[in-house]
A = this chain, B = another copy of it.
Amino acid sequence: MDDIVVIGVGMIPFGKHQNLSIYDMGRQAIWNAIQDADLDPRKIGHAYVSNSLAGPLQGLENTRGQFVMREAGFSGIGVTNVENACASGTNAFRGACLEVASGASDFALAVGVEKMLIGDNVRTLGAITGAASPLYASLGYQFTAGYAMKIKKYMAKYGLSREDIARVVVKNTYNGSLNPLAYQRTPRTLEEVLSARLVADPLTLYMCCPNSDGAAAAIVCRERTARQLTSRILPRVVACSLGSGRLPGTGDTSISTTTLVARSAYEAASIGPADINFVELHDAMAPAELIEIEELEVCQPGEAAIWLREGVTSLGGKVPVSPSGGLAARGHPVGATGLAQVAELVWQLRGEAGERQVPEAKVGLALNQGGRVDTEEAAAYCVTILKR
């Protein structure tokens, strides 16, 4: 899919939206994307709607995407409801790209919507966990614990301190403070992060992404189609690779699935990890960022904490990581997150990211993960690369 570009993106601020339904949020994100694309909405041929939790949390199953599109004023167009847990958003984006690349539609929309703050965090937690693995949920497993164990192991391997992992939050909450669409806009000091309530050792409160409401959308088309409409910068989708966790004992398990999917994305894009200018990561728990940029082979194993300490991954550094603030600062409305990542890549590549702009952003990568990423059980991994 060489010639697919993003012609417009839209998003609403992530956070608490007590008076907005998934339909209200979806409509706003969709119309923000349409206005951004400056496109006649009747040209959109198909919509991919990403939502993960409206079923278990609100009883809205199946054709909820048709309702989202209807409430946005669309009538008659095909709608595909896509689910891949926390990776649903980029999976919907991938669907929109294939829709255009196959010739089925000239313009396709991907929209992610999620309402998590239903006034019952215990129920929300149960739904997220159950979505990943009903068996483990019934055994008391939840995501924070899974990440905590993975991060502890990683810390032990490279002799990292609590300060080393807390520093991710200092960087990302600073980035988030510059992002008007982020949920958490207060920069945190190292001391604040370390002294915050312990959630699951070694993770403190500010290391964990907040349950959030939100929506984000993107519209894609062929480059030559877009060029007839606009002379603006059109970020090209040079890769959108999706993989699943592997069966235990198959292949080389010393290489993570994230690495395999990233390699396939680099190959599709005909680039290497050294060509990546900036990265948006799936830091559901902020310290996971360190593991993830190593898995993406953007830095060497064990190097991530050093890069962080030396400012390489800060906004002014060589490879800024999560300029948006990432999941822990921007918020993580599950089905919307992947499309917020795509929106951030687009804004950065167009040079429209304001105070958090990455200088000379040319190639951006987003990693979106879903399911039990600690054990890879039935998990989904999506690597998207956009290039200006």
A56 to nearest B CB, angstroms?
6
Q: For the complex, give the distance between the alpha carbons of A151 and B341 in Å.
A: 48
A66:B242 contact, CB within 8 angstroms = no
Q: For the complex, give the distance between the alpha carbons of A69 and B88 in Å.
A: 17
Is A309 interfacial (CB-CB < 8 Å)? Answer: no
B379:A251 contact, CB within 8 angstroms = no
Stretch in contact with the other chain, from A24-32, A130-138, A165-173, A271-279: A130-138
Stretch in contact with the other chain, from A70-78, A205-213, A297-305, A312-320: A70-78
A76:B246 contact, CB within 8 angstroms = yes
The one of B1, B67, B83, B243 that contacts A104, using a Cβ cutoff of 8 Å: B1
A81:B84 contact, CB within 8 angstroms = yes
Is A121 interfacial (CB-CB < 8 Å)? Answer: no
Q: For the complex, give the distance between the alpha carbons of A317 and B21 in Å.
A: 51
Given contacts A76-B251, A98-B98, A244-B79, contact A62 B84 (CB under 8 A): yes
* CB-defined A-B contacts under 8 Å, sample of 9: A59-B134, A60-B134, A63-B371, A66-B379, A67-B378, A70-B378, A76-B243, A79-B84, A102-B102
Q: A80-B95, A95-B95 are in contact. List 15 more A-B contacts (CB 8 A).
A: A1-B102, A1-B103, A52-B62, A53-B61, A55-B61, A56-B61, A60-B134, A62-B85, A62-B131, A63-B85, A76-B257, A79-B380, A80-B82, A83-B83, A101-B103
Q: Hey, which bits of chain A sit against chain B, CB under 8 A? A: 1, 46, 52-53, 55-56, 58-64, 66-67, 69-70, 73-85, 88, 91, 94-95, 97-99, 101-104, 127, 130-132, 134, 241-247, 250-251, 257, 260, 370-371, 377-380
